[in-house]
Chain A
Amino acid sequence: MAFFEVLVQYFPSFCVALWATVKLTAVSLICATVLGVIFGLFKVSGIKPLKLIANIYIDIIRGTPLMVQVMIVFYGLSQVLRPYGFAWGNIGGNFTAGAVTLSLNAGAYMAEIIRGGIEAVDKGQMEAARSLGLPYGKAMSKVILPQAFRTMLPSIINQFIISMKDTSLISIIGIRELTQNGKIIAANSASRVMAIWLVVAAFYLVVCTLLSKLALLVERRLSYGK
């Protein structure tokens, strides 16, 4: 079968590409989580300028396609910042540009998820924590966020899976991840194009499945006495 022929023949290159996809996903998701927490907290802070900043960020990201975002970050920024000595090549090249874009993109969606999770926690929880003398930050980190995290988890996992698949769009700036690898192989072996793309799809499917399984495990670990 052509599928297995392709899989075996190009296995090493797919493994390298898979590693690029996984790395891009992992780095972006970590950064996106940090961004999401920061901007999610901005949104619930009740401080107008912070809310405004968060809203502008989220609206811009949600209102534009990821592929355009990566073009702006990779080509646009390097053009504008070149006079100041900036070049993506100096800081990890297109991989860094891709990771930055994906982080910013997923970060905006994460911010909305985290805002929703925090707002879903009963108001009395914050009041009880504050009434004990805990400052806002401690009440948030010790009482609100741990509870919010539990309700947010399914949405966070969902976003992780979406972002994992979005790495395929980042191939447009030439990172040799799974999709780009597929394109290159298909260009040299046009007769097996169906098999090649099925192999690419299979790799994504495996990573997604593993991610979901991992999520389930975390979810179970987090459940406490009801």
Chain B
Amino acid sequence: MENKKISVLNLKKNFGRLEVLKSISIDVKEGEVVCLIGPSGSGKSTFLRCLNRLEKITAGEVIVDGHPISDANTNINKVRENIGMVFQHFNLFPHLTVRENITLAPVELKKMDKDSASRRALELLERVGLADKADVYPGQLSGGQKQRVAIARALAMNPDIMLFDEPTSALDPEMVGEVLEVMKQLASEGMTMVVVTHEMGFAREVADRVIFMDEGYIVEEGTPEEIFGNPKEERTINFLNKVL
């Protein structure tokens, strides 16, 4: 058995009477890059948010790094330290500088003292190509720069797993590339990644596995070659015809 980072079994999620996820089961191995694709409202983002309990699951089991996420005895804050998340709308903290955005969690959670957190922030900014922006406020950055800062912020806690929730959907087209570039680099360094995306090119190039979701189910999964080159399910074929 290979090292499983995320293990999901029969996950169900309802919002009131609406069933958003209807029995999802997947495993993600260490270092694997999994891309979730599918039409809007198919439950991709909800599924991703169940992985760090931003959404409480209705039924089933989610185990991340050996911790049962839905178990009340699990210290969810500790588990979350190990799961970075990047949001569609960046969600940078507008009242803090870029550097403070990145150092907030490591310093507050006593992972690092202020100086080493600040050095680490600069390293991370270097990595995402924004070393010169350490002391500006998020409001002064472009969308692509914001998202790269958000990635740096998520990496500051040295997570084993990164979740991306449509990280390029709110960006102007010319800024998509710079964000995807950073994500590719992360993938090549062996980060375990789960990415909800509409960027089929990215999924095809970077993903180890592509999962097509629709109406709360996993319809089809496979390597990018299988899904994009030779989709088997009717719904997958329809969807791909529309977006490609």
Contacts and interface: CB of A to CB of B under 8 A. Distances in A.
B85 A133 contact: no
Interface stretch (B6-14, B104-112, B177-185): B104-112
Contact of A132 (B105, B136, B140): B105
Interface stretch (A7-15, A107-115, A123-131, A184-192): A123-131
Contacts of B78: 133
A226 to B, nearest CB: 5
Contacts of A147: 93-95
Contacts of A127: 54, 87, 91
Contacts of A128: 85, 87, 91-93, 150
Given A130-B54, A132-B104, A132-B105, A225 B87 contact: no
A182 B140 CA distance: 54
A132 B156 CA distance: 9
A133 B84 CA distance: 9
Interface in B147-200: 150, 153-154, 157
Nearest to B100: A142
Contacts of A146: 95
A147 to B, nearest CB: 5
Interface string B33-55: 00000000000000000001010
Interface residue SS majority, chain A: helix
Interface string A136-158: 00100011001100100000000
Contacts of B92: 128
A151 B195 CA distance: 34
Nearest to A122: B91
B104 A131 contact: no
Contacts of A65: none
Given A138-B108, A225-B136, A225-B140, A132 B153 contact: yes
Contact of A133 (B81, B91, B140): B81
A224 interface: yes
A134 interface: yes
A122 B136 CA distance: 21
Contacts, number: 71
B157 to A, nearest CB: 6
A133 B157 contact: yes
Contacts of B91: 122, 124-125, 127-128
Nearest to A146: B95
B235 interface: no
Best-surrounded residue of A128, A129, A142, A225 (most CB of chain B within 10 A): A128
A25 B173 CA distance: 55
B89 interface: yes
B6 to A, nearest CB: 15
A134 B105 contact: yes
A131 to B, nearest CB: 4
A92 interface: no
Interface in B119-161: 136-140, 150, 153-154, 157
Given A131-B52, A226-B139, A150 B105 contact: no
Contacts of B154: 131-132
Given A127-B54, A130-B54, A142-B104, A224 B81 contact: no
Contacts of B157: 132-133
Nearest to B109: A133
B87 A134 contact: no
Contacts of A150: 95
B95 A133 contact: no
Given A147-B94, A225-B140, A226-B139, A133 B80 contact: yes
Interface of A: 122, 124-125, 127-135, 138, 142-143, 146-147, 150, 224-226
Nearest first, the 7 closest Cβ-Cβ pairs linking A and B are: A225-B137, A133-B81, A128-B91, A132-B105, A124-B91, A131-B85, A133-B80
14 contacts: A127-B87, A129-B105, A131-B83, A132-B84, A133-B77, A133-B80, A133-B105, A133-B109, A142-B108, A143-B93, A143-B104, A147-B95, A225-B138, A225-B139
Given A131-B80, A226-B137, 15 more contacts: A122-B89, A125-B91, A127-B91, A128-B93, A131-B54, A131-B85, A132-B84, A132-B153, A134-B104, A138-B108, A142-B108, A143-B104, A146-B95, A147-B95, A224-B95
